[in-house]
Amino acid sequence: MTGTSSPSGGGVHEPPSEWPTTTEGYQLECPIGYGAFATVYKATVVSGVHSGEPAAIKVIDLECLDGTTFDDIRKELQVMRMCTHPNVITYHAAFSSPDAKMWLVMPLINGGSCQNVIREYKKRTGHSINNIGIIAYILRETAIALRHFHSNQQIHRDLKAGNILLSLDGRVYLSDFGVSASMRDSRSRQTFVGTPCWMAPEVLEQSKNG
């Protein structure tokens, strides 16, 4: 597979994949998400053994990245390789394109994030979701994913509704590992990261006290 080159000249070297590793192997259909340096597209595989299957492809502009941001992407790939589990999002392939873009090919989780589901439900009905059974199920599946994550000595550090994905057949996936840290890395664990409104009170209190 084609490696991806970092701004400082390093690379992400991927093991062989049965998924296409060039842009010609995919048909981008429509954008389904945006970030500072990337756009996520709904796509269809058009070559190889997975031809016809849907995918979500994150297209990252490598020329806009600094070394730290690229390291976060590389770390996210490493974590997804390490923490393979039915409740943890994975990726199929990662490669660089001739126009200095990185393509990260992932499963298409067609239900969207919990955050989007909550927002759309309230917009449609005027009420919050209050089905205790559904809430308990999502929390249980997320806890199972976190237990596996922790068993691999990893800490997510940005757990929130936007990072919990739902499929239309009821499966729950933990995603977005760019700011995760190893339990063995004491320096990373002391940094303050995450989304403030989703942080535990003791974490926020610690940040105020330095």
Residue 4 bridge partners (DSSP): 12
Whole-number Å distance between alpha carbons of 19 and 79 = 19
User: Which of 61, 158, 176, 185 is an active site residue?
Assistant: 158
Tokens representing residue 125 in the block? 């009905």
| C-alpha torsion angle, residues 36, 94, 73, 112 (rounded to 10) | 60
* Dist CA 20 CA 150 (whole Å): 32
Active site residue 61: no
| DSSP single-letter state for residue 85 | B
Residues 6 or more apart whose Cβ sits within 8 Å of residue 27: 43, 44, 46
Q: How far apart are CA 130 and CA 170, in angstroms?
A: 17
Residues facing residue 5 across a β-bridge: 11
58 assigned binding-site residue = yes
Q: Which residues are known binding-site members for ATP?
A: 58
Q: Which residues are known binding-site members?
A: 58
As annotated, the active-site residues are 158
